[in-house]
Amino acid sequence: MRGMLLIARRELAAYLNSYWGYAVIAAVLVVDGLLFNAFALGNQPKLSSKVIEEFFYFSFGTTIIASILLTMRLIAEERQTGTIVLLDSSPLNAWQLVGGKYLSAMTVLTTMVLATAYMPALVFVNGKVSYGHIFAGYTGLLLVTASVAAIGTFASAISRSQLVAGFASVVITIAFLVMWLLAKVADPPLVDVLSYFSLFDRHYRGFMRGQINTEDVVFYLSICFVFLMLASRFMAARRWR
Amino acid sequence: MIEVKGLTRYYGSFAAVKDASFKIADREIVGFLGLNGAGKSTILRVLAGLQMPSAGTVTVGGIDATVAPDALRKRIGFLPEDPPLYREMRVSEFLRWVGQVKGCTRAQVEAELPKVMETCRLTDAANQVIGELSHGYRKRVGIAQAIIHRPEVVILDEPISGLDPRQIVEMRGVVRALKSFATVLISSHILSEIAQTVDRILVIHRGRIVAEGTEQQLSGSLGTGTRLTVVVRGKLDACEEVLGKSELVEGYELAAQGELVNASVTLRGDKREEFVRELVEAGLGIRQIQDSMGELEPIFLELTRAAMAPAGLESKQHPIHKEADA
C-alpha cells in the first residue's frame, strides 16, 4: 500500500504541476455548466427530479471524455520519456504501480466530479429534490468515472504513446457504449450478454433516476477490477517479452 | 556476489545474449565492453531485474532473478544510458521520493541523502529543478537515484556517453567512489575509458562473452605484447640496430625528428623494465617513454574479429575466459 501511495503522490503532483489537469477540469466544468443551463434548466418549467436526471445524463458524456483525457498519459508518458525504467527497476510490483497511477487519476477525477455539485444544489433554490436522488446520481457518475479510468489505465499500459493510449481508450469505451445497439439486432442468448455489457443503457439509467441497483454497482466494479488486473498483468509480463 | 550461468535472452526469434556465464566478486568494478548491439545492455537489464532471462540462471547475493525479482531489485541500483528523471522535480525532492520507492523509510533516506549528494557531487544542485540541469549533472542525479537506497550492486549503462572531457574525469571519480560500498558494473564501447575505471573486463560480441580478464590478461592472451611509445636522442641507424637485435622486442616503427627518434615498440609481454634497461645500456638517451594510448583497441578488434569471421569460431570462447571459468 505504501508503494502505491508513493506512486499516487508523485503522479498527483505531476497533475498539479502541469496545465493538462487544470485544462481538462476547467473545460469539463465549463461544458457541464453550459449544458446544465441550456438543457437541464432550459426555458420550459420542469420537475426538479427531471432537471437532476438530465444533469446526470449529460455529465456522463463529459466525465467519460475527461477520464480518457486524464488517464491516457498515466503509463504511456513514462514509457515515452524513459522514466518507466525507474519504476521497473524499483522493488514495486506491477499491481502497486498500476494501482498508484489509477489512484492519482481517480483523486483528480473525483475532485472534478464533486466540483459539479453546485449545479444540482442550484435546483434547491426554486425546486424540491431528494438528497437520495443526488447521492445515487453521483454514485453512478463516480462508478462510470472509475470504470472508464480503469479502461484508460489499461490502454495507457499497453501503448507506447499517449495518443495511441487515448485512441485505444476511446475504442474500448465506445465498444462498451454501443453494446445496447448491437443487443437490439442480436438473437438470444447473445442479446443478454451484449445488453449486460452496455456501459450506459443497461446500468447507468437507474442511477440517473435516483436508483442504486446492486447489479449495476457490481458491473462497474467488475469493469474496474478486470481492466486494472489486465493492466498489471501486462506490466508484469513485459519483463518476459 | 553475482553468478550468471548460461544466460540467454531472446527478443522474438533474435538471441540478444547467448549462453553467457560469469561470476563477479563483491566490491569489484567490472566493465562490459562491446560494440553497439553486442548485448551489453541486455545483460545489464537482466541483472537489474528489468527483464527475465529466456534461459539460464542469474543470482545476486544468493537471490535468483526469476524466483524473487522484487527482492533482487531492492539490492540493485540501475542507471540506464538515458537517466530516468522527472524533469519537473527538484533534485533532493526526487531523490527522497526514489529512496522511499526503493523501500527505504523516510528516516533512512534523510540519513543517506547528504552522503549520496556528496558522493555524486550534487550538494550545490540540491534545490535545482532537474529539467534545468546540464547533461553532466543529470547523469550524476541518475547515479544518485541508483545508490540512494545503498544497493549492493550498482549497474551503470554507458555512464559517460554524451559527457565532455571534464565531466568524464568527474564521472570516473564518482564511479570509483561507489566501490567503497558496492559491486559496480559498467558498460561502455569507449575502450580507453573502461580500462581506466574497472578491475576486470568482459568482452561481449554478438551476444556472447568472447573474453574475460584484466587489460593485461587480455593483451597477453593475444600475444599482442605491451605497446610503448619511446622518444630517444640518437641516430636512426643506432636505434634500429638496438631494437632489431633485442629479444624483448616483437616489432617496431621508427621516425626521425631532428636529433630525436620516435619509436613505437611492441614488446613480447610486459617487459618494460628490462627494455628500458637495455636502451640505457645501449647508450640511447631516453627523453620520453609512455604506454601507447588506446591499447585496448587492437585487443578488442582482435577478439571481436575472432568471434566474427567463421561460423565455427563464433561459439568458441577465448582461452582467457576458459581459464577464468576453470
Please write the tens of the pLDDT for every residue from B282-307: 888 888 887 764 455 666 666 666 65
The domains of chain B, with CATH numbers, are: 2-220 (3.40.50.300), 227-291 (3.30.70.260)
Cβ-based contacts of A85 with chain B (< 8 Å): 50, 78, 80, 84
Confirm or reject contact between B70 and chain A (CB < 8 A).
Answer: yes
Q: Indicate the pLDDT class of residue A226, thresholds 50, 70 and 90.
A: very high
Please name the residue that has the C-alpha cell 549528494.
Answer: B117
Closest to A224 measured CA to CA, from A114, A133, A109: A109
Closest to A209 measured CA to CA, from A39, A46, A53: A53
Q: Are A59 and A32 contacting, i.e. CB atoms less than 8 angstroms apart? A: yes
Distance in angstroms (rounded) separating the CA atoms of residues B246 and B225:
14
Contact B80 A82 (CB under 8 A): yes
Contact A3 B101 (CB under 8 A): yes
Instruction: Please tell me the predicted confidence (pLDDT) of residue B121.
Output: 84
Say how many C-beta atoms besides its own lie within 10 A of residue A34's C-beta.
11
Average pLDDT, integer, range B74-97 = 90
Q: Which spans in A18-130 are helix H? A: 19-35, 48-71, 76-81, 84-88, 94-114, 118-126
Average pLDDT, integer, range A82-92 = 89
| B89, B97, B145 ranked by CB distance to A6: nearest | B97
Contact B80 A240 (CB under 8 A): no
Confirm or reject contact between B249 and chain A (CB < 8 A).
Answer: no
In the sheet that B153-157 helps form, which strands lie side by side, from edge to edge?
B76-79, B153-157, B183-188, B29-33, B200-205, B208-213
| A7, A91, A239 ranked by CB distance to B50: nearest | A239
Contact A91 B80 (CB under 8 A): no
Cβ-based contacts of B50 with chain A (< 8 Å): 85, 88-89, 239
Contact A6 B101 (CB under 8 A): yes
Lowest mean pLDDT among A101-110, B47-56, B94-103: B47-56
Mutate to test the interface with B, among A88, A93, A238 (most CBs of B within 10 A): A88
B83: CB partners within 8 A, 6+ apart: B138, B139, B141, B142, B145
Please name the residue that has the C-alpha cell 447507468.
Answer: A204
Mutate to test the interface with B, among A7, A85, A104, A238 (most CBs of B within 10 A): A85
Quick: pLDDT tens for A199-216.
Answer: 887 888 888 888 888 999
Quick: pLDDT tens for A103-121.
Answer: 999 999 999 999 998 888 8
Mutate to test the interface with A, among B46, B72, B86, B101 (most CBs of A within 10 A): B101
Segment (H or E) for B29: strand B29-33
Judge whether residue B319 has pLDDT over 50. Answer: no
Q: Indicate the pLDDT class of residue B325, thresholds 50, 70 and 90.
A: very low
Judge whether residue B224 has pLDDT over 70. Answer: no
Cβ-based contacts under 8 A for chains A and B? 60
Closest to A65 measured CA to CA, from A38, A35, A98, A96: A35
Closest to B28 measured CA to CA, from B143, B155, B161, B118: B155
Contact A7 B101 (CB under 8 A): yes
Contact A89 B49 (CB under 8 A): yes
Cβ-based contacts of A93 with chain B (< 8 Å): 70
Contact B84 A6 (CB under 8 A): no
Distance from CA of A226 to the nearest CA of B (A): 24
Say how many C-beta atoms besides its own lie within 10 A of residue B5's C-beta.
15
Distance in angstroms (rounded) separating the CA atoms of residues A228 and A98:
7
Planar angle of CA B158, A92, A7, nearest 5 degrees: 95
Q: Which residue has the higher pLDDT, B214 or B278?
A: B278
User: Please, which residues bridge with residue B79 across strands?
Assistant: B156
Instruction: Please tell me the predicted confidence (pLDDT) of residue B197.
Output: 82
Lowest mean pLDDT among A75-84, A139-148, A181-190: A181-190
**Maximal C-alpha separation, chain A:** 62
Distance from CA of B311 to the nearest CA of A (A): 28
Cβ-based contacts of B70 with chain A (< 8 Å): 91-93
Judge whether residue A190 has pLDDT over 70. Answer: yes
Average pLDDT, integer, range B232-256 = 85
Confirm or reject contact between B10 and chain A (CB < 8 A).
Answer: no
Quick: pLDDT tens for B124-148.
Answer: 888 899 989 988 888 889 988 988 9
Instruction: Give the three-state DSSP class for A40.
Output: helix
Distance in angstroms (rounded) separating the CA atoms of residues A104 and A8:
5
Judge whether residue A97 has pLDDT over 80. Answer: yes
| Chain A CA closest to residue B14 | A241
| A82, A85, A239 ranked by CB distance to B52: nearest | A239
Q: Which residues of A56-88 are buried (b: 16+ CB within 10 A; e: fewer)?
A: bbbbbebbbbbbbbbbbbbbbbbbbeebbbbbb
Contact A90 B102 (CB under 8 A): yes
